[in-house]
Amino acid sequence: MKRSRRLERLAFAVAALALSACAALPWPSGPTRGTGLLASGDWIDLRGVVHVHTRVSHDSQGSIGEVVDAARGAGIAWVAFTEHTRHAALAPARGVVEGVIFIPGWEIALLDGSLLALGVADPVDLPREPHALVEAIHAQGGAAFVGHLERSGLADPSEFRAAAPDGIELANLHANADEVRVRLALGELFLPAPLALRALLRTPSENLERWARLPTARAIVGGVDAHAKFRALGALGGTLDRYRDLFRLLTTHVRVRERTAPAILEALRAGRSYVAFEGLAAVERFEVSREVEGSNVRVRVRVPRSARLALVCAGVVTSEAEAAEAVLDAPNDTHLCHVEAWLGDALWIATSRLD
């Protein structure tokens, strides 16, 4: 009887160990995606990821090789790093590595949230007063985005207006993880990582509302907030939050004339960007254009598959259609308007505010 119970306990322990490592096994992430999507005119649509940490940061174990492999597999043309300044002994990666454009950058703690200093190689002399910090980032040709909008003091309209950053991080996967801890933990126990991490595809409803209250916040990015640090098997490895899986969930696309870091940073500052929850469905083609005919203004939208397309102005849906291509009626002034595409009750694509 005792032997039978010992065998049962051993079998349970083995099963528990196997299940605990399920998401850490090297499951295929999916087919390789292409980069450099064609857009209208001479524009190029480049898929990227924003808010990435490596071992340059104190709380990451990720390597540049892992980032490159993940980017190439997920069709990522550019990666914007946001290393922590605390205890950073190395500089963030920069340049072009195996065809992937690396944009250096830092995550600066600020007003209970952070400011993403994209395109900045050295943070040593950066001031900490919000407006001075943004000006210093711009002086280096960089772009400044409010990170962790869900808790940042810069979500206050007066604070945001005074600091004058380029835009906001509309969604952050790390913050999403805090909201779905139980579902995520269960998924990691019983599902392959690509399926388990789909729990992070949470519509950022609260941040959409915060954005609506920020009339001067034009541009948006999506933050994967990737660290590659959670190891199911401790020192033996078994990384649960692999770059190769996270890079397929949430992306930031930019429209550029050329494939260079300065062109990408300029597009981010100008708001020629959109955020895509590509864990729901890949975005290989997406176009938005503003059309003026007499006194009528319309916005033409084209997406890869049928979705609920909505023109949202100051937080209010002013026109919508269920289609893969639609022309939406718009107000004459669209500077507070952006386009959203929804798959069911989940946000799929959100653009920066229109001209």
Q: Which amino acid is at 227?
A: H
Q: Where in the chain is the domain with CATH 3.20.20.140?
A: 34-283
pLDDT in tens, 236-283: 344 567 899 999 999 999 999 999 999 999 999 999 999 999 999 999
- Residue range 320-331: mean pLDDT, rounded: 96
pTM equals 0.88
Q: In the prediction, which pLDDT does 117 show?
A: 97
Q: In the prediction, which pLDDT does 263 show?
A: 98
Q: In the prediction, which pLDDT does 351 show?
A: 98
Q: Say if residue 119's pLDDT is above 80.
A: yes
The lowest-confidence range among 101-110, 118-127, 131-140, 207-216 is 118-127
In sequence order, what are the beta bridge partners of 84? Answer: 107
Cβ atoms within 10 Å of 160's Cβ, excluding its own: 24
pLDDT band at 92 (very low <50, low <70, confident <90, very high): confident
Distance in angstroms (rounded) separating the CA atoms of residues 353 and 337: 5
User: Who wins on pLDDT, 136 or 40?
Assistant: 136
Query: Which CATH architecture group holds 34-283?
Result: Alpha-Beta Barrel (3.20)
Q: Which amino acid is at 260?
A: T
Q: In the prediction, which pLDDT does 12 show?
A: 40
In sequence order, what are the beta bridge partners of 226? Answer: 52
Please choose, from the candidates 307, 251, 242, the residue with its C-alpha nearest in 3D space to the C-alpha of residue 282: 251
Q: In the prediction, which pLDDT does 61 show?
A: 82
User: Who wins on pLDDT, 189 or 74?
Assistant: 74
Mean pLDDT of the chain: 86
Q: Where in the chain is the domain with CATH 2.60.40.10?
A: 286-355
Only one residue has tokens 């899986």, namely 245
Which residues, including other chains, have CB under 8 Å from residue 338's CB and lie 6 or more apart? 220, 311, 312, 350, 351, 352, 353, 354
Q: Say if residue 285's pLDDT is above 70.
A: yes
Fold of 286-355: Immunoglobulin-like (2.60.40)
Distance in angstroms (rounded) separating the CA atoms of residues 354 and 351: 8
User: Who wins on pLDDT, 94 or 228?
Assistant: 94
Q: In the prediction, which pLDDT does 234 show?
A: 45
Residue 208 three-state SS: helix
Q: Across 82-91, 192-201, 217-226, 229-238, which has the greatest mean pLDDT?
A: 217-226
Q: Say if residue 27's pLDDT is above 60.
A: no
Beta strands in 153-257 (DSSP E): 167-172, 219-226, 251-256
